Every structure is written in C-alpha cells, then in structure tokens.
C-alpha cells in the first residue's frame, strides 16, 4: 500500500513540480501526517525529490510533464461551453481580469475584439488576447508557475494595488458549499482573494466535475460569487444555495 501511495505522490510531483504536506493531507485523508512525511523522506532518499519547507520539489525538473498542455487537452467541449457564456458578459469599455489556466485561455480566444482593459496573471491568456487588435493587455509580474503558466507570489498580489476592474473571471480548482472556492497553491489563492475583493462582479467558471470538491486553500466563500457558470445543470443543492445567496447560475 505504501509503495502504491508513494508512486502516486511521485506521479503528482512530476506533474506539479512542487508538493506540500498540506496538499497531501487532503489527498490522503486516511493517512497520518507522520506517514506522509516518511513518504517524502523516502522520495528524497531515492533521489526523486528534494525536501523544502513544508513539502518537496522535483529533483529532476527535466522529467516534469507539460501539465498545461495535458490540461488543455482535457474536457475541451465543457470549457468551450463555459467560455461562450462568460464572453457574453464582456462589453466594450470595461476593465476585466481573466484567470490563468485552460478555461481562462478559452475565454481569451472567444472574447470580443473590442475596446477593453484586460488584466491577467496568465502568460498564455495574455498572448491569446494579444492576437486581437483592440484590447489593452496587462500582465501581472512574479514567479512563473509551470502548472498553469501563470505568475503568483507576494509581489504579484502587491502589484494589484495599482488596478481596478469591473469583472473578474475566476476559475476555481474546486467548489463546495461548506468550503467555498479553493485551490491547491497558496500564492494563487492569495491572488484570487485580493482580485475578488477589488472586482465589482465576480464570475466563477467551473465545470460540474469541480463541484463538491475541496482543495487545501480556500480563497472565497460560496456567497462571494455573483455568477456561477458551469457546463451543465449543477446539483439542486447548489441551485438552492445560489438562490438563497442571490447568485445567478448559468449553464449551456
């Protein structure tokens, strides 16, 4: 059992590059923290990982999978449906933020070529918007996260003080009624939290498979969303909670 778990941890490490103990505690709730620490020690002794504060990083970055490309190939139709609905809310002369990742990239492709102020922390998103002639594109700075080709660190959060925007298109990794919108990267969550505080309208883009899921770090309560866009009708519990909180829900 321990061998299978360590193989699973190593496979995940090759996708992400870095893993933290808090993440593993969520992914393996039946395993003690002490056992997971021993797993990390084992991977370091095997030469596969290097221990860092609170977790491990891949010892051989050249073995890391191209995670963004893998994610881009997954659930393409669902992401396209969500992006089509999200694009309806982009009007001329607005300032918007688009989250990094594959759903945000789909939105960047489908958004209208009109007079807009676009802010993003996603490299691929910024490049896609740059293919259009009219929008002004602004890319936040910071350390690059290869998992979603974005920047998110304390400098990125600090630079947000210079910006204001009407709409924030956010793509949570997981949504639950009890734990809200969550993600696996602490810095990314801090960035999303600040963005949602500054935006006039927060639009969450998440396919139904992400509902009833929890990641290590919560960046917003469910009630902080103004609009939830999914790929198909979500469970009734979410529709009821959204109605009670005044949240609009749309799907295609």
Return the ∠ at Cα 78 (arms to 121 and 14), rounded to 5°: 55
Name the pTM for this structure: 0.76
Instruction: Specify the domain boundaries for CATH 1.10.10.10 within the chain.
Output: 2-63
Helix/strand/coil for 249: strand
**List of the chain residues with pLDDT < 70:** 1, 61-75, 147
Q: Does domain 70-251 have CATH number 3.40.50.1360?
A: yes
Antiparallel, parallel or unpaired: β 199-205 and 165-170: parallel
Q: What Rg, from alpha-carbon coordinates, does the chain have?
A: 19
Asked whether 52 and 16 are in contact (CB, 8 A), the reply is no
**Residues β-bridged to residue 165:** 199
Any residues with CB less than 8 A from the CB of 236 and at least 6 apart, and which?
A: none
Q: Is the separation of the CB atoms in 174 and 185 below 8 Å?
A: no
User: 1.10.3720.10, 1.10.10.10, 3.40.640.10, 1.10.357.10: which CATH number matches 2-63?
Assistant: 1.10.10.10
Residue 181: what pLDDT?
96
Helix/strand/coil for 31: coil
- Strands of 217-220's sheet in order across: 174-176, 180-183, 217-220
Task: Give the mean pLDDT of the chain.
Answer: 89
User: Which segments of the chain belong to CATH 3.40.50.1360?
Assistant: 70-251
Is 185 in contact with 218 (CB distance < 8 Å)? no
């Amino acid at each position: 059992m321990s061998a299978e778990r360590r193989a699973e941890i190593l496979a995940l490490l090759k996708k992400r590059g870095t893993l933290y103990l808090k993440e593993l505690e969520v992914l393996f709730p039946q395993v003690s923290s002490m056992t997971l620490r021993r797993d990390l020690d084992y991977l370091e002794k095997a030469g596969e990982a290097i221990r860092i504060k609170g977790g491990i990083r891949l010892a051989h970055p050249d073995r890391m999978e191209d995670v963004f490309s893998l994610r881009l190939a997954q659930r393409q139709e669902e992401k396209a449906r969500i992006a089509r609905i999200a694009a309806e809310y982009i009007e001329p002369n607005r300032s918007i933020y688009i989250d990094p990742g594959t759903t945000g990239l789909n939105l960047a492709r489908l958004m209208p070529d009109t007079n807009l102020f676009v802010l993003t922390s996603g490299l691929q998103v910024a490049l896609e918007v740059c293919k259009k002639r009219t929008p002004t594109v602004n890319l936040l700075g910071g350390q690059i996260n290869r998992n979603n080709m974005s920047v998110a660190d304390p400098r990125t959060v600090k630079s947000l003080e210079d910006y204001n925007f009407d709409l924030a298109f956010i793509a949570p990794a997981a949504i639950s009624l009890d734990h809200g919108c969550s993600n696996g990267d602490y810095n990314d969550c801090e960035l999303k939290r600040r963005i949602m505080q500054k935006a006039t309208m927060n639009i969450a883009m998440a396919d139904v498979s992400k509902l009833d899921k929890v990641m290590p770090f919560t960046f917003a309560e469910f009630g902080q969303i103004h609009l939830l866009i999914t790929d198909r009708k979500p469970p009734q519990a979410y529709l009821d909670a959204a109605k009670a909180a005044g949240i609009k829900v749309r799907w295609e």
